[in-house]
Amino acid sequence: MIASLVADGSSGLPRIPIGDWINSIFTWLTDNLSGLFNVISDIVGGLVNGLINVLEAPNPIVLAVIFALIGLAVRGWQFAVGALIGLLLVISMEQWEFAMQTLALVVVATVVAIVIAIPLGILAARSNRASSTLKPLMDLMQTMPAFVWLVPVVTLFGIGVVPGVVATIIFALPPGVRFTELGIRGVDAEIVEASHAFGATPRQTLFGVQLPLAMPTIMAGVNQVIMLALSMAVIAGLVGAEGLGGQVTSAISTLDLGLGFEAGLSVVILAIFLDRVTSSVGQGHSGGLFRLGALRRKGAGAVDEELLDTDEEGAASPPPTDLPTSVRA
């Protein structure tokens, strides 16, 4: 019997038709909830197109300078100069319009992913049962090949930018949940107990103690969400999403090495800029503009403290009483 099974190439186990079940589920969704998916498509498409219009409205050089000033504010003049040179290179390669389309897709997908991820991370941090339930789901979303997510979203939303955004949200969501849970669980238990001892409610402890202390870890998760969203946004060009992903897809279909390299280099420049800015914000680093203001405030505070110490010393040092009356007078 075993020999016959081996000869037939069969394992002897009954086939579990998971694929058929998935097809049935999506057939039911498209037949019964098509109106809902059309509304979602209109909302997401409107957000992306509106943001694209905003980013493409100013002169590219002006917007590049604005981005460089943001880099100066959060990182310093060296990063600002490097960012400006990189962005001007994107403009000179005539990839700016496509880069802004990709940036709009990434921003919308990242905002939606963070809005979903942080509450789920808080829930997982406060409930072991929720954490145990979410963990395998996050594993599935994060380890499933990125191309696989394009199949169901195209089935539900068709071809275009919307399936690209939805697939990007699914692919980029897990790090936000994991880092939020990790940050909150990493807060010192004694600090939380002290907050409760002073009469703080669980909500006050969460928003006043745990979230502020966990913010560096949460921002690290936001940084990872942005990076994954950017990588998925390029892959989304395969389903009709505009931007640098579309340029890469076009380069592959036409074997245009130069176009592919220009689009890829633009992705790298955009990724480095977003990574450095978000990581600096998450770590609490400040660049030239913020640092100058902090130094000014620190200097003013030091002067006030010195004056206060002088006043206190003067008030606390009465004239000696053992001097002659004529001297004291």
Q: Could you report the per-residue pLDDT of 201-257, keeping only the tens digit for each? A: 888 888 988 999 999 999 999 999 999 998 888 888 888 888 898 899 889 888 889
- Euclidean distance between CA atoms 116 and 180, whole angstroms: 11
Residue 93: the pLDDT is 92
**66-71: long-range pairs with CB below 8 Å, 24+:** 67/273, 69/289, 70/277, 71/273, 71/276, 71/277, 71/287
Q: Are 279 and 223 in contact (CB under 8 A)?
A: yes
The CATH H-level superfamily of 44-54+95-283 is MetI-like (1.10.3720.10)
Average pLDDT over residues 276-297: 60
When pLDDT is cut at 50, 70 and 90, the band that residue 1 belongs to is very low
Residue ranges covered by each domain of the chain: 44-54+95-283
What value does the mean pLDDT of the chain take?
83
| Residue 25, pLDDT above cutoff 60 | yes
Question: Alpha-carbon distance 90 to 184, whole Å?
Answer: 39
Q: What is the pLDDT of residue 10?
A: 60
Nearest to 142 by CA among 190, 100, 176, 105: 176
The answer on pLDDT for 124 being more than 60 is yes
pLDDT one-digit tens code per residue, 149-192: 888 888 888 888 898 899 999 999 999 999 999 999 999 889 98
Count CB-CB contacts under 10 A for residue 46: 12
